[in-house]
Chains A and B, each alone.
Chain A
Amino acid sequence: MAELGLNHYLLLSALLFGIGVAGVLIRRNVIMVLMCMELIFNAANINLIAVSRFRPDLTGQVFTIFTIAVAAAEVAIGLGLVIAMFRNSTTVNVDEIHLLKG
């Protein structure tokens, strides 16, 4: 069996990214869309950590810490918006949210 290289991690990250994009596109629930965005963040983190491991440089790990902080902030704001939206229109379905449509 082949040696474990950077290729394997990058391919896994690309597949995880694809699953996340598919989830964002096909689910109707806003909470589910936010969760799939977390999958996409995780794919990016795997890329950063793997490259940081295979060309020895700590910068990738440091930026993963920043990515996780930004993801936490994004989830807090996004879920706050979901709560506000649910309170105003009593739905969390992305197809039924068309308040800004002319």
Chain B
Amino acid sequence: MEIYAFYAIAAVVLSSAVLMVTSRHLVHSVVYMVISFVAVGALFILLEAEFVAAVQILVYAGGIVVLFLFVVMLVNVSETYQVEFLHRQWLPATVLSMILAAQIGFLLWGNAGGLAADPSASGSVLRAVEGGNTETMGMTLYTDYLLPFEVASVLLLVAMIGAIYLSRKRV
């Protein structure tokens, strides 16, 4: 049962990613990107990472996509619909990156067996309470990873100041 859900979600993720890369209009690309991000969030739910799935939906499908849409509409309309939207050498680039993906996938497919432990024993570690792993995530984030958490907040502050500085009226 689980594997059918996985194949359905994987089909949505990959096809919307391909459509995003190949679609000519930028707004269409953004919409396909939303579909791909939501499907990846569904994949996280399938992997029993509910909190990360919620963060994925909120940050990607909620925040980043709106940012992209604003910038797409800020730049010129003629730039968002180009006749020549692909690079000259798009065919060799596509072939080479597919070869790269095939190599990575082949290596991971062959060597992941040692890692694939019995998934049924994972319940107690990943979730302290039934029905979600938000509490366990919070405990880990605020005890073991407190310093990286604070550093991430400083990074977001720096990014905010930098973005405001870069997109000021007169640069």
Q: Chain A residues in contact with chain B, CB under 8 A?
A: 1-23, 25-29, 31-32, 34-36, 38-39, 42, 45-46, 49-59, 61-62, 64-66, 68-77, 79-84, 86-88, 90-93, 95
Contacts and interface: CB of A to CB of B under 8 A. Distances in A.
Nearest to B9: A12
Given A21-B100, A42-B37, A26 B13 contact: no
B156 A88 contact: no
Interface string B71-108: 11011100110101111001001101110111011001
Contact of B10 (A7, A12, A76): A12
B100 A18 contact: yes
Which applies to chain B's interface (DSSP): helix, strand, loop or mixed?
helix
A1 B55 CA distance: 32
A42 B18 CA distance: 14
A83 B48 CA distance: 39
A80 B163 contact: yes
Contacts of A51: 115
B171 A87 contact: yes
Contacts of A11: 105, 108-109
18 contacts: A1-B3, A10-B108, A14-B104, A22-B21, A26-B87, A35-B30, A42-B37, A55-B117, A56-B121, A61-B51, A61-B52, A68-B60, A72-B63, A76-B163, A77-B166, A79-B71, A91-B79, A93-B82
A5 B112 contact: yes
Contact of B166 (A1, A29, A35, A80): A80
B13 A17 contact: no
A7 B109 CA distance: 5
Contact of A77 (B29, B60, B144, B162): B162
B48 A21 contact: no
A1 B43 CA distance: 19
A76 B47 contact: no
B29 A35 contact: yes
A71 B64 contact: yes
Nearest to A34: B68
B167 A80 contact: yes
B97 A7 contact: no
Contacts of A5: 112, 116
A73 B122 contact: no
Contact of B140 (A36, A58, A68): A58
Given A25-B87, A54-B115, A72-B59, A38 B33 contact: yes
